[in-house]
A and B are shown apart, each in its own frame.
Chain A
Amino acid sequence: MNGNGKMELPGLKEDVFNSLLEPELLQKCMMGCKKLEKIGENKYAADLSVGIAAVKGKYEATIQLEDVEFPNHYKIIVHGEGKPGFVNAEGVIDLSDLENEETLLEYTYTAEVGGKVASIGQRMLGGVAKLIISDFFKKAKKELQRREKTD
C-alpha cells in the first residue's frame, strides 16, 4: 500500500520540525500509543494499539528516524509486530514555508502488512492504512495548535 497527503501546520518550519521529532508528541499522536521510550539515537520503542472501531490489535513497534535533514526532510520507519501480524511502514516527510508563519507538510508513505490482518482484512486495509496515517498528522496538527494557544 502506498499514498500521500499534505497538511498545513501552525508555526515556523524549524519549530514544526523539532516538535514532530519530540517523543512526547510522537506518543500523543501515534494511534493507541501507551508507551514510548528512546532506545537509541533517533530510535524509539513503543506499544501501539492500532485498528478501526472494535477491530484493534496490540503491536510492539520500533520507530526509527532516518535521513534527518533539519529543517526540511526526514524519514520515519515503523516496524510493528503483534498477534494480528506485523506492519512495516515508511513515511517521508517534507516541510516547506507558508505565509502566516505556517508550514506545509507533505508526506508519502509505503506500508506492508503481514499475518492475519493481511489475510483477512484485505478488503479495507488500504483505506484503513490511509486513515491511520492521516490520523497521525491530524493529531499532530491539533497538538501544535494547542501548543500555539498555550504559548
Chain B
Amino acid sequence: MQHQQIGKALKRVEDPRLTSGEGTYIDDLNPIGNIHHVAILRSHHAHANIKEIRTEKAEKMKGVKGVVVGKDIAELTKPFPVGVSNPVKYYSLAINKVRFVGEPVAVVVAENRYLAEDAMDQIEVDYEPLPAVVDIEEAMAHDAPILHEEIGTNIANQRFFDYGKTEEAFEEADVVISHKFKFPKYSATPVETYGVIANYQESEGQYTVWSNFHGPFTLQSVMAAALNVSSNQLRLIVPKDVGGSYGIKSGVFPYIVLMSIVSRKIGVPVKWIEDRQEHLLASSSGTDRVTWIEAAVKNDGTVTALKMKMADNVGGYIRAPEPACLYRTHSNSTGAYRIPNLQMETIAVMTNKCPTGLIRGYGGQQLYFPLERMMQMIARKLNLDPAEVLNKNLIRKDEFPFETASGGIYDSGNYEKALKTALETVKYEEFKEKRQKAREEGKYLGIGLACIVEPSGSNMGYVTIALTPEERAKSLPKSGCAEGATVSIDPMGGIKVRISTVPTGQGHETVSAQIVAEVLGVKPETIKVIAEMDTATSPWSVASGSYSSRFGPIGSSAVFQAAQKVRTKLLRIAEHQLKVPIQNLKISNGKVVVQGHEEKQLSLKRLIGTAHWNPQDLPEGMEPGIHESAFYTVSTAKSPREDDTVNGSVTHGFVADAVTVEVDAETGNVKILDYVTVHDAGKLLNPLIVDGQILGGLAHGLGGAMYEELVYDKNGQLLSGSFMDYLCPTATEMPEITIKHQETLSPVTPLGAKGLGEGNTMSAPVVIANAVSDALQPLGITIDDLPLSPNKIWNKIQESKKNITALKEELT
C-alpha cells in the first residue's frame, strides 16, 4: 500500500509548544484550589526498626497543616498486591521498619515546600539499626540478614524452566563454556521527576489524582486495592506533557497512594514534586543481576543449548510489576539464535536497596550482556571470527515466524541482512587490519558486535510465568495487550483522536495524526489528538500506557482500527447517498469519490454534516454522530501454556550493532570511534521520530555501558546520590553514530509496524563491552561487569600485566 502520511518524516506537532514554554507538565497544573505542599521525611538507614516517631515539634511549625506517619497508612491502606505466591507487605510509607535508604517515613503538609522542609527537619525518629545486605549472592546465603521476617527469606520469587533436551545437548557438546556475569543497577533519570497532586473528597469517597504516571494500567488496580476502594473511586489524570520517563515513572504508583491518603488524613489537596535527590534515592530503577551462563557448543560454532541462572536484585520490597524484570525477555532468552534447548533458573532477591520497576530495555540489557559476551567468548575459544559465529547461529529469514524454545513467536525478520549491513557499514575487514597495525604499535583498538532481538508490545500474560502452572490455575488467566483509541468527528467536522497510550515524549500525537490522516484522506494538521489520560473518560484497559515500546505495534493499531471504523461509516453514508457500492468508493483529499467517475463525489464535510445535522438521512440502522472506539489486541498474546512456554511480546524487531573503540592503556579511558547500528522494526511510522528514539535509547545504553551506576556501600548507603556522581552521558559523550534501517514488515499488526526505542538500551552495554574486550585481547582481559569506568579498565590492565609478568617468571 502506498502511504501518503504513514512513514513520512513529519515534524512533531508536540514540539512547538514544548519549545516555546507552552507545555503543560504536572508542575504547571493547578487543577484545584487550596493546594498544599508536602515534604517527605526519608530513612537514612538502609535497614532498621522504627522505635518511635515524634512529630509534635514539626506540627507546631509555621504554615504546617499536619504530619502523616506509618500508622495512618497502616490504618487506611492495604499492602500493594504483587504477582508472586509469597508476597511481602509493601506500603507507601514505612510502618515499623525501614528497608532501604530513602524509604518514606513521614509526610509533612504545609503551605509551601520550604516550610514543609523546615518542619520535616524537626521530626525525630528513633531507629534501631539492623545489619544491611546489598549484594545479591550475600542476600541469598543462609546467614543473610532477612528483610521480611514474615516470609523468612530474601528470595521473593524463584522458578526453574527446562525446554527441549538441554542435558543431552550438553553431554553431546564439543565444547562447554561457562562464565559468571554481573550487571549493575542503574536508572533512567528523566529531566522531569515524579509529580503527584492528590485530592480526597470525603463527600464522595473519591480520590482524584493528577500525576505523570504512564501505566501499565494494571497498576491502577494495584493502587485501588491498596486504597481499599473500587476502581471507579480512584480517578487518575495524566497531563499530555510528561518530561520523559523511559519506564521509570511507572514507579510513581506508591506515591500516588501515599499522597491520596495524606490528602484524606489532613483534609486538603496536596502536591508533591519530587526533587533530584529523592529521585535517585527512592523512585525506581532497573535491577542489578548476577548471571551464571553455560553454552553447549559444536566445534563449528553452533550453539546447541544454553543454561542460565539469573538472580535479580529487586530492592527492599518486591513490588508490581516485578518480578517481570526476570520474565519480560523470557520468550526471547535465546536472542537472535536458533538454540532449541534452554534451561533457566530465575531468582528475584530482595536487598536493602531502592525497589525496582520498569525501565527502558527492561530485562533486555541484563539478558544480552551475558548472552552476547558469551558469543564472543565462544568465538575466541574456537578461534573463529565473532561475525562468523553470530552468522552461524542467526535465525534465517525463511524460518519466520520462528518459535523459540521458551515459546516466543518472532513474527518476522531478516537478521543476516542486517548483520551484513552492519559489518559493511563499519568496514569490518578494514578495521581488523587497522587493529592489527595498532597492536604492533602498542595501541589498543577493538571492534565489538551484538545481534539482539528487540521485543515490543508486551503480552500481559507473561508476568504470570513467575507463578508455577499449578499456581496459575488458581486464578483468572492473563493474556493480551489490549489498547483502546477513539476517533470522533464533531458537528463542524473537527476530527479528534483520543488515545490511552500516555506518551512521555515519544510523539504519539504526531503519529496518531498521521495514521488517521492517512485513513481518512485528510491533512494531519487538521487532526487534534488528545493525549491526556483520564481513567474516568479515556478508552483504556489493563495494558494501556507507554512501556515495552507498544505504541508502534499496538497503540498505532488501535488508532488505525478506530479510524477504519470512522472511514467505513463515512463510506457507508456515501454509498447510501451516491447509490454506489462501497467497493467502488475511495477517500482522498477530503472527499469520497467514485472510482473511475471522479465527478461523482461528496465532500467529507457533507457526510459528517449528515451524521450530525441530518441523521434521518442516514442509512437504515446507522447511529447518528461519528464517534468510534476500537480496542485492539493481538491473537499471539496468549497466556502461558502448561509447559511454561509463552509468547511474551507480540512483535519482535532486530538490532545489529558494530562498535569500534580505542582504549588508552595508561588511563583506562575508552574512546568510542564509531557506533554503527542497524535496525529492523518493521514499518517505520515516522522516520524522524524513529531516529530520535534510537539516539535516545543509545545514549541510555551508553550510560549503562560506561557511566551510570547506583552505587551502594555495604551498609546500603547510596553513594551516587546526585548528578555529580551518578553520571548520565551528555551531548559531549555521544560518539559518531550511523543508523541504518531495514523494514521487514510484521505480519501481525495492520500497518506492519513493530516497536522500537529500547533496542540500543539493550545492545549498547554489551556491544561496547565486546569492543573493549576485543581491544584488550592481547592482554587476556575478560570483561564481565559494567560500567566500563577508566579505573576499572586500568585495574584489569594492571592485573593482567602482573599475571603476564608472573607467568614469564614461572617460565624462565
Contacts and interface: CB of A to CB of B under 8 A. Distances in A.
Interface stretch (B137-145, B242-250, B606-614, B721-729): B721-729
Contacts of B724: 120, 123
B101 A120 contact: no
A123 B720 CA distance: 10
A75 B456 CA distance: 60
Interface stretch (B645-653, B710-718, B799-807): B710-718
Contacts of B715: 112, 114
Nearest to A113: B717
A120 B715 CA distance: 16
A122 interface: yes
A150 interface: no
Nearest to A79: B129
Interface in B1-60: 44-46
A32 interface: no
A71 interface: no
- Band of interface residues on A: 10 to 19
A113 B101 CA distance: 12
Interface string A40-73: 0000000000000000000000000000000000
B436 interface: no
B277 interface: yes
A23 interface: no
B44 A115 contact: yes
Given A83-B121, A122-B719, A116 B725 contact: no
Interface centre among B44, B46, B718, by most A CB within 10 Å? B44
B44 A114 contact: yes
A120 B44 contact: no
A119 B277 CA distance: 9
A6 to B, nearest CB: 28
Given A122-B725, A123-B725, A116 B277 contact: yes
A86 B717 CA distance: 11
Contacts of A115: 44, 101, 717
Given A83-B121, A112-B715, A119 B721 contact: yes
A132 interface: no
A118 B277 contact: no
B44 A85 contact: yes
A137 B280 CA distance: 37
- Band of interface residues on B: 10 to 19
A113 B719 CA distance: 10
A76 B721 CA distance: 30
Contacts of A85: 44
B98 to A, nearest CB: 12
Interface string A116-145: 101110110000000000000000000000
B718 A119 contact: yes
A136 B120 CA distance: 31
Contact of A114 (B121, B277, B280, B717): B717
Contacts of A114: 44-46, 101, 715, 717
B339 interface: no
B515 interface: no
B720 A119 contact: yes
A59 to B, nearest CB: 12
A76 to B, nearest CB: 19
Contact of A120 (B45, B121, B713, B722): B722
Contacts of B722: 119-120
Contacts of A122: 719-721, 725
Interface in B275-322: 277, 280-281
Nearest to A118: B717
Nearest to A1: B713
B721 A120 contact: yes
Interface string B515-540: 00000000000000000000000000
B121 A118 contact: no
Interface in B102-151: 121
Contacts of A113: 717
Contacts of B718: 118-119
Contacts of B45: 86, 114
Contacts of B725: 122-123
Contacts of B713: 118
Contacts of B101: 114-115, 119
Contacts of B721: 116, 118-120, 122
Contacts of B277: 116, 119-120
A119 B121 contact: no
Contacts of A86: 44-45
A116 B281 CA distance: 10
Interface string B717-744: 1111110110000000000000000000
A119 B717 CA distance: 7
B711 to A, nearest CB: 8
A115 B43 CA distance: 8
B50 to A, nearest CB: 14
A44 to B, nearest CB: 19
A52 to B, nearest CB: 16
A99 to B, nearest CB: 43
B279 to A, nearest CB: 12
Given A83-B121, A85-B44, 18 more contacts: A86-B44, A86-B45, A112-B715, A113-B717, A114-B101, A114-B715, A115-B44, A115-B717, A116-B277, A118-B717, A119-B277, A119-B717, A119-B719, A119-B722, A120-B722, A122-B719, A122-B720, A123-B724
28 contacts: A83-B121, A85-B44, A86-B44, A112-B715, A113-B717, A114-B44, A114-B45, A114-B46, A114-B101, A114-B715, A114-B717, A115-B44, A115-B101, A115-B717, A116-B277, A116-B721, A118-B717, A118-B719, A119-B720, A119-B721, A119-B722, A120-B722, A122-B719, A122-B720, A122-B721, A122-B725, A123-B724, A123-B725
Interface of B: 44-46, 101, 121, 277, 280-281, 713, 715, 717-722, 724-725
6 closest pairs, A vs B, by CB? A119-B721, A115-B44, A118-B717, A122-B719, A119-B718, A114-B717
